[in-house]
Amino acid sequence: MERAASLVVIIGVLFWIVSILIFKGLWRVQMVSAAIIIFGIVLAHISEEFYREEDE
Amino acid sequence: MARKRVSQAEEWQAWAKRYDIDDGIRTFESGLTLKVFLGALFVGLLMMPGSLYLTYVSGTSGAGAAPWVAVILFTELARRSFTTASRQELYMLLGLTGAAVGSGVQYRSFIWYSYFVKTPQAVSYEIADKIPWWVCPPPDSIAIAERTLLHRDWLAPIFIFVVFKLLGTIRHISAGYVLFRLTADLERLPYPLAPIQAQGATALAETTGKGETWRWRVFSIGSMAGLIWGFLYIGVPSLTGLMMTEPIQILKIPFIDFTQAIEGFAPSGIFALYTDWSQVVTGFVLPFPIVMSEFLSASFSQFFLNPFLYKQGLLIQWKAGMDVRSTSLANSLDFWLSYGMGKSFSFAIVGLAASIPMLIKMRSRKKVGSGQRGTLEPPPGRGDFPMWVMVGMWLAGMGLYVFIVHKYMVPNFPLIFLLGFAFLYTPLNSYITARTFGVLGRDLFELPYIHEMTFILSRYEEIDVWFVHLPDEDYGRGTQHWRVLELTGTTFTSNIAGTLLMMPILIVAGILVMHFVWQIAPIPSAQYPYANMMWPINATWECINKTALRDGNSQMLQAIRGDYLSAGLTSSLGIYGLLWVAKLPTMWFYGVVGGIGADPGSILPRLVGALIGRFYMIRRFGLRRWYMFNPVLAAGFTCGVGLTGMAVVAISLVSKAVIVKPF
């Protein structure tokens, strides 16, 4: 779960960099990358709350 | 070796414990006693007329220091009467006296609009005859001609004010409480500035007991430092200003501008060194990672990012030779205004992302004791309420408020916007502010020109809507007060009872005092120099603002750009996500994002305090002792600066009251 969250966040950030460099910072594309990062952050917190004790 | 992940739960819990003055172990007592109530009423009402008068004479009310003066008077009386005062009583006294002293100022809009309605500016901008009945009487009213608030023409504005005051109190108490439970109980955010007031009250309470502890010594050191600093920074310019045409400033107030000096290597960057070195004391108290990352991020913004944005053609209004104010305004309109809005939203999103899984888990797991992150279980004896009661109170208070505004004040203004402000914007705004207060000790969320945007979108063209207090509120600041109550061990019920008992007395007393101040002389007039100087300019600004959208256009609104706003939101979320991936503390997120776009010179005094604390004080006293000392020191310092401020205001008042005769 933790790895999945990290992966989603990194994909979101890379997509944001692409949105700035290739799509000239078009707000719609940036918001898509924001949505991906938010999904990653939610996964991160779910993993902290629900899976961390099991992992340990 | 891989870095061990410290979960947000462990991180916040550790910081919350560090800022807890009694290691979280305390008994709760009522702070409301008859002597506190009468003491607050007496001192507050004694100082309120002076505070109100000073507002019109010098523009400063001195109200900030009044509660500390009241508490010191109270403790001295207690010592001489061979009795004691508890810290609960003293904190309650601080709050109630502050409310009493400030109660006169809440009516100043009555006097302001009595003046405004008759100004040539209001007439020429065609506003004078459109000011609604619930704001002030018409310009030809005898109540305005005779300068009296005790007239039936004032019945409607005063009635509306009192009803709104009552509903506002209900909303602020209930919403503030709910947000406190979510941020302090559930999330265990540390509220780093809350121990200052709590430790101040505790230190002074100890002086009335038999044994004085380290707290009183540290408080006294802080007070002396505050007195000296207050004299140098506030006293010297104010007192020399009374005697000379150009006051002497030992340190230039409020900053020394180096913006033009750095433009050679950092075009469009700003750097103004703020000279209010009392911020060093705040730097002692705030978490070191926050201050450090804030400074680094602000320096990066001004020395690298702004020049880069300028070269890319995003900062188009900046010209060489501009000072800090012009550069800030130009950069803000070009980029940072929109970016800042986006980054503010990220605080709400990361807060919700952390809280929602916690709430889900809380419902499914076994009951955990109070004081632990992830539980809403209150400590015993704190005087808590069921959450649903408080949510219900807020809904009722807000619903009734929206109903009155829609039904009687602006019936043609679209209801959907009022509901949007009340039930979407206000909770979001308040939650973000509560979180930023919980971590940074200050507000970071601001949606500029939100009223203007709403009025344009609504296509509403009447002027009356500009005079309505729209239901966009912020209860987030109030959450810190609940945390101080908890730290001082004051029961919540006693605080609410004190507020509600004082309110009717202060409403009546405030009107009477305002009436008598107005009776002394017209406001503005030569007897009230500050109002005399500023009010005509303010009237012009008010006319310009209230008519700015007549052609459906505004330069400020055009400055809000969707792509920059998205960049602010996405980059901030990306920083949060990457810090999590790198297993770094969340504190860095608040510091880095808080500092982006800020002036590093404004953070430098705080950084000096944080560095001294981190690399000298902690080594000298040890971590635990230093975190016990520094809020007491800061409380003493605030008290010392406040006392100097009051003394200066008193001398200014006497000086302005003396009429020099030519023979």
Q: How confident is the model at residue B364 (pLDDT cuts 50, 70, 90)?
A: low
| pLDDT of amino acid B172 | 94
What's the gap in Å between the CA of A25 and the closest CA on chain B? 6
What sections of B305-449 are H helices per DSSP? 306-311, 324-331, 337-364, 387-404, 415-420, 426-439
What's the gap in Å between the CA of B580 and the closest CA on chain A? 8
What sections of B255-305 are H helices per DSSP? 259-262, 279-285, 288-300
pLDDT in tens, B561-616: 899 999 999 999 999 999 999 999 888 998 999 999 999 999 999 999 999 999 99
Tokens of B31: 């702070």
Tell me if B595 sits within 8 A of B297, measured CB to CB: yes
Inter-chain residue contact B566 with A30, CB threshold 8 Å: yes
The string over B492-509, giving b where at least 16 C-beta atoms fall within 10 Å of a residue's C-beta and e elsewhere, is bebbbbbbeebbeebbeb
pLDDT above 70 (res B660): no
Question: pTM of this prediction?
Answer: 0.80
pLDDT above 80 (res B642): no
Residues 6 or more apart whose CB falls under 8 angstroms from that of B404 comprise B160, B163, B164
| pLDDT of amino acid A30 | 95
Q: Which amino acid is at B399?
A: G
| pLDDT of amino acid B93 | 85
| pLDDT of amino acid A50 | 81
Q: Which of A30, A38, A42 sits opposite B567 (nearest CB)?
A: A30
| pLDDT of amino acid B25 | 59
Inter-chain residue contact A10 with B567, CB threshold 8 Å: no
| pLDDT of amino acid A40 | 95
Q: Which of B7, B571, B576 sits opposite A41 (nearest CB)?
A: B576
- Interface of A to B at Cβ within 8 Å reads 2, 5-6, 9-10, 12-13, 16, 19-20, 25-27, 30-31, 33-34, 37-38, 40-42, 44-46, 48-50, 52
From A27, which residue of chain B is nearest by alpha-carbon distance? B563
Inter-chain residue contact B353 with A10, CB threshold 8 Å: no
Tell me if B390 sits within 8 A of B174, measured CB to CB: yes
pLDDT in tens, B390-410: 999 999 999 999 999 999 999
- B contacts of A5 (beta carbons < 8 Å): 580
| pLDDT of amino acid B303 | 96
Residue that wins the pLDDT comparison between B584 and B624: B584
Inter-chain residue contact B577 with A12, CB threshold 8 Å: yes
pLDDT in tens, B275-318: 888 889 989 988 899 999 999 999 999 999 999 999 999 999 99
pLDDT in tens, B150-209: 989 999 999 999 999 999 999 999 999 999 999 888 888 888 888 887 877 777 777 777
Q: What is the mean pLDDT of residues B247-253?
A: 82
pLDDT above 90 (res B70): no
pLDDT in tens, B84-102: 888 888 888 888 888 887 7
Inter-chain residue contact A45 with B8, CB threshold 8 Å: yes
Inter-chain residue contact A31 with B566, CB threshold 8 Å: yes
Number of neighbours of residue A26 by Cβ within 10 angstroms: 15
| pLDDT of amino acid B462 | 83
Q: What is the mean pLDDT of residues B634-658?
A: 77
From A16, which residue of chain B is nearest by alpha-carbon distance? B570
Distance from C-alpha of B630 to C-alpha of B624, rounded to nearest angstrom: 10
Inter-chain residue contact A9 with B565, CB threshold 8 Å: no
